[in-house]
Amino acid sequence: MEIPTTAAMKPTESKAQFDSISDARVEDAGVAIAALVDEFAGTLYRVAYSVLRNAADAEDAVQETYLRVLRHRNSLSEIRDPRVWLVRIVWNVVLDRKRRAKTRPETDDIADLARMLPASGLSAEERVASAQHHEHVLRAVTQLPEKEQRVLILSAFEELSSVEIAQILGTTESTIRSRLFRARNLLSNVLSHSRSVR
């Protein structure tokens, strides 16, 4: 997607002309941001939800992301890949919020979340078993180190490549690959250990 670029700033002779150009710039930026909302609000919500696991918090994070974009509307034309840029912003917003709400227990959230995951075409018993499995997996993911956990969460988004994940997390692609490999191994160990305990 290409962001509608704002009108180029040129030296003006009269104040009226300057005002009309700046108004046009503001209007163009508004149009560009509206297009970004229509295109990426869903993706940003899903990214926020996968970390926060709370619908209201995720929506707040999305709104805050677009407010930040609005504040930096003058530099919209410099953005090359708006999707990665927006995911990066929402990722930072989400991590900030998670850091602030660290004291809140997540135990109930995980159980609720596991029940919310789709299980169409399954019988009632199978749904319960599926929810238990999801809960088990999500708890195992929370036991991973933070860096591995982040890479694993972002890699679940099919629209994000490893290069884009690297851009979002501010690191290199090879680091992402090695972290993902380590995360998968750790997750497998945690899951097999918890199964043997059970």
Partner 1 sequence: MTQNFRNSEYENTSQAEETLRLLAELPPPADLKDRVHYRLAAERTKPMHRSFWSLWMPAQRLQYAAAAVLVVAVAGSTWGVYHTRPQAGQKAGPSTQIAPAVPHDAGGFGTAGAERVPPTLSPIKVPPAPKKKPSASKMAKPSPKVLAPQAAQQTSPTPAANQ
Binding site for partner 1 (CB under 8 A): 30, 33-34, 37-38, 41-42, 45-47, 49-50, 55, 59, 62-63, 66-67, 70, 113, 116-118, 133-134, 137-138, 140-141, 152-153, 155-158, 184-185, 187-188, 191-192
The least CB distance from residue 88 to partner 1, in Å, is: 17
63/175 with CB nearer partner 1: 63
Q: Minimum CB separation from partner 1 for residue 81, in Å?
A: 19
Which residue's CB is nearer to partner 1, number 61 or number 166? 61
Q: Which long-range contacts (CB under 8 A, 24 or more apart) does 154-159 make?
A: 154/47, 154/91, 155/180, 156/50, 157/43, 157/46, 157/47, 157/50, 159/43, 159/83
The residue among 166 and 190 lying less far from partner 1, judged by its C-beta, is: 190
Q: Which residues fall within 8 angstroms of residue 113, CB to CB, at 6 or more apart?
A: 53, 134, 135, 138
CB of 39 to partner 1, least distance (A): 10
For partner 1, the closer CB: 103 or 169:
169
Q: Are 48 and 30 in contact (CB under 8 A)?
A: no
Phi–psi pair at 79, nearest 5 degrees: -80, 125
Nearest distance in Å: CB 61, partner 1: 11
Of 113, 71, 109, which Cα lies nearest the Cα of 89? 71
User: Residue 31 gets which letter from DSSP?
Assistant: H
Closer Cβ to partner 1, 54 or 167, answer by number: 54
- Quote the CA–CA distance of 28 and 8 in Å, as a whole number: 11
Shortest spacing between CB 90 and partner 1, in angstroms: 12
CB of 190 to partner 1, least distance (A): 9
Nearer to partner 1, 34 or 128 (CB): 34
CB 45 within 8 A of CB 75: no
